Structure 1
Amino acid sequence: MLLSPDQELVALFGQAFSPDEVELLDRPCGRGAIEHLFNDPPDLLVVDQKLDDIPGLDLVAMVKSENVYRQMPVALVMDEAALAARDIDWCATEVDELLTRPLDAVMLRARVSLTLARASRSLDANPLTKLPGNTSIIGRIQELIDRKEDFALAYADLDYFKSFNDKYGFSRGDEILMMTARIIVNTVRAVGGQKAFVGHVGGDDFVFILPPDRVEDACKAVVASFDDIVPHFYDAEDRERGFIQSTDREGNRRSFPLMAISIAVVFNRNGRLTHYGEASQTAMTLKKKAKENPRSCYVLDRRQY
């Protein structure tokens, strides 16, 4: 949505984007557009500081004061001369992009596209680890499948994480997740090079993608690092005993081993996979096999195709 009385700016959007790419709704005033804005939130709100009825920054503050719309990306349009003349506290201004006149169609397209891409990554990122989330993970897997690239997809999750959370609390559980993320990211970066990818599905589930010939080295390193570090997150008494007392899902008191990490690895070779769901289904089967081992381990899909 574009809120601006400037018809040249409206025309410039028409030059920068085709109707197939962008459904442009333009309004010259702010107040009259707010109801429509709240009823049908746009992917991006572009606000001209020179609205007919209210300063653009004031309208931005009104929109962002509604918690449900705080994540909506907002771009502010200002004249370059007006920007230099005003003392604006940009740290307190909830604007995601600044567009300064004079603008041309090429620059407008680039800045708007980058704003949308940045907002998409931000919304998808896991709030704890800041790693790419489900949308980015699925997109990356499907992109590699569509390009018929060979790759190894590893699904990693933690065994006995719930029992740790139940005994020590969510704060210490979050520390475990951050530690696991660091181990995977550092290992995959060292082993995988530029084609490596790490994502956080959610909870204690992680994904990493590597060339097929490098994934086993990465799995070995992740398992070794995790087993070396994780005992130090337990109290000394539990660490020395080698298990903790906690409650299972049925409410029964029982003993649980120290946490372990299980990794299931699926390979895409010679264009075998056609959809990311195939990889996910195979990985779930392999993870069940990995979890039969109470210790940290990895399982590779050894089937030949």
Structure 2
Amino acid sequence: MDEVGYGLLDRTMIQRITENWHQGGLGVIIVHLPEVGASALEALQAWSADQQRLVWRYRMESDFFFFLKREKNDERLDKLVDKSVESLRSRLSQMHPAVLTPSRGARKKQSFAIGSAVAFPSGTGRSAEAMVYYAIRDALTVVMRSQLREESAAQAEFNSMRANEPQKEWDSWDSTYAIGGLAKPIPTFYSTSRVSEVAKMFESNQHVQGAVIVNQGRPVGLVMKENMNQLLAGQFGLPLYWSRSIEKIMDDDALIVDAGLPVEQVAQLAMGRDISRLYDVVTITQNGKLLGAASIRSILEFITNLRTEEARTANPLTGLPGNASIQREMKRRIESGKPFSIIYADLDYFKWFNDFFGFSHGDELIRFLSSVLQDVTHHAGERVDFIGHIGGDDFIVLSDEVEPEKLCKQMIARFDGGVRSYYGNAQVSAVKDRSGNLIEQEGVTLSLSLLLWDGVHPITIAAISQSAAHLKKKAKSMNGSAYVIGDVVQMGLGEERS
């Protein structure tokens, strides 16, 4: 099987696959190799030679695509594909063994990821191209999830090794959600440039995969090296296009995004494109002018790292984002310049509760507070509202709700209405403060510090923390559950108690 297509779904490939899948469908196997070494390539080549049902193969950067057919008397397609995957996994494990990751402890990290899926001829009128596209997408999803599981598991083991290390209250991670942070330089051409000029640039720069077509600094199109090669390799490609302007063959509907757009949103837009554009770079602009471009690989790697970091810093008791994610989200909101509110929540007399009822009941009470904050925010807040667990009985809510006071009122009502069930049959009429003094109080209460920011006056995370500490002290000085409001910039304005 010597055929290697110019594109994943080029005309020859579709024709060949359509000819071979009517006996029972098509199997898709995708292998991702973070480091494409000689041993891994040898393993793939040896495995391919053994696959009698292989009808097409293709490589795109670190991803290798294999397509298998089913003969009339073969076993079920899913079983055939599973056996092929197992044999492939075995070969890669032998010739490309697991590698150590000292930065994350002694755990062995798998150095490849495999995903598979099956496609069958459809009676619904879907084309062969559409069916193969969905199978490729499903297999890619498996590959991405496999990579994420490996990273998360490695991080979990690393976390257990540093469980006794002192933790900072704010654990920073130098990254941003914005796609602009992933922008890299990319060659540019005017729309009047000749196709031959662009082709020669690609030929002399083997690692360049795309070029942006600009008009007065603004991107108007995209040319990918692979697509150009496929076009020029056609029967009349060279005589038809070689001397013509590049605008004749550029993609004038390429994905162009603003630098401030979140990476995850860009990933959704990119993965939602047609399969023929799946690996096209994403063009990034700032104030309408070209900033750079990001490859799909860099975007997916960023998201994988982001998910791994979130898993590493998530609070193990509640599963809510921890301090690194909290700081990152707060920074993102400040940089966006849009007004938002911050609610700090913590429990009064929680030490007494722990001492009186035990730490396991204390954990249950913290989980109860977590559920209160999540339920209220979900039903009464905005879709983009964020909830984090700072540690212990301290939580934070970042909200775009225009009436954040209603959130505070509902949180207090929900908490006060459910907290007594955690006392069991005990009758509580007094508690002890941290100094051991007896206080007439019917158990644990909830204190909320509500900070407002107008999106105009400059603020910092440190200023928010200081303002919150000031309000927290006021809220805790009041009897019963209470919330206190303050402006981040001018703490003397608008304070009140519920």
Compute the TM-score of the two structures, normalised by the length of structure 2: 0.43
Counterpart code for 2:479: P
Residue pair 2:318, 2:367 contacting (<8 A) in 1 also: yes
Shift of 1:53: 7.0
Q: Residues 5-39 of structure 1, C-alpha deviation per residue, up to 9 Å, x if partnerless? A: 24998x947xxxxxxxxxxxxxxxxxxxxxxxxxx
Secondary structure of the corresponding residue to residue 188 of structure 1? helix
Counterpart code for 1:274: I
Shift of 1:76: 2.0
- 1:282 lines up with 2:467 in the alignment: yes
- 1:238 lines up with 2:293 in the alignment: no
Q: Distance in 2 between matches of 1:79 and 1:160?
A: 52
Measured at CA, do residues 168 and 152 of structure 1 come closer, stay the same or move farther in structure 2, by a change above 3 Å? same
Structure 2 residue aligned with 1:76: 112
Q: Distance in 2 between matches of 1:117 and 1:190?
A: 27
Shift of 1:172: 0.6
Q: Residues 130-159 of structure 1, C-alpha deviation per residue, up to 9 Å, x if partnerless? A: 111111111111111111111111111100
Residue pair 1:198, 1:206 contacting (<8 A) in 2 also: yes
Q: Distance in 2 between matches of 1:259 and 1:73?
A: 46
Q: Which has the higher contact order (CA 8 A, sep 6+)?
A: 1
Secondary structure of the corresponding residue to residue 318 of structure 2? coil
Structure 2 residue aligned with 1:24: none
Q: Residues 69-98 of structure 1, C-alpha deviation per residue, up to 9 Å, x if partnerless? A: 55x9765245979xx9xxxxx99xx7349x
How many residue pairs end up in the alignment? 246
Measured at CA, do residues 107 and 7 of structure 1 come closer, stay the same or move farther in structure 2, by a change above 3 Å? farther
Q: Distance in 2 between matches of 1:74 and 1:256?
A: 59
Q: Distance in 1 between matches of 2:474 and 2:318?
A: 27
Identity %: 29
Alignment of 1:1-305 (within 5 A): 4-6=36-38, 12=61, 56=97, 59=98, 68=105, 76-77=112-113, 95-96=150-151, 108-211=297-400, 213-239=402-428, 242-244=429-431, 249=434, 252=436, 254=438, 257=441, 258-301=443-486, 303=492
Structure 1 portions without partners, runs of 5+: 14-47, 85-89, 98-102
Q: Residues 78-122 of structure 1, C-alpha deviation per residue, up to 9 Å, x if partnerless? A: 5979xx9xxxxx99xx7349xxxxx97855444433321210111
Counterpart code for 1:237: A
Residue pair 1:150, 1:268 contacting (<8 A) in 2 also: yes
Secondary structure of the corresponding residue to residue 200 of structure 1? strand
Shift of 1:291: 0.6
Pair member with larger Rg: 2
Cα-Cα RMSD: 3.8
Residue pair 1:73, 1:115 contacting (<8 A) in 2 also: no
Residue pair 2:96, 2:111 contacting (<8 A) in 1 also: no
Q: Distance in 2 between matches of 1:149 and 1:104?
A: 33
Structure 2 portions without partners, runs of 5+: 1-32, 42-59, 63-88, 118-138, 140-144, 153-277, 281-294
Higher mean C-alpha deviation, range 165-174 or range 210-219 = 210-219
Higher mean C-alpha deviation, range 211-220 or range 221-230 = 211-220
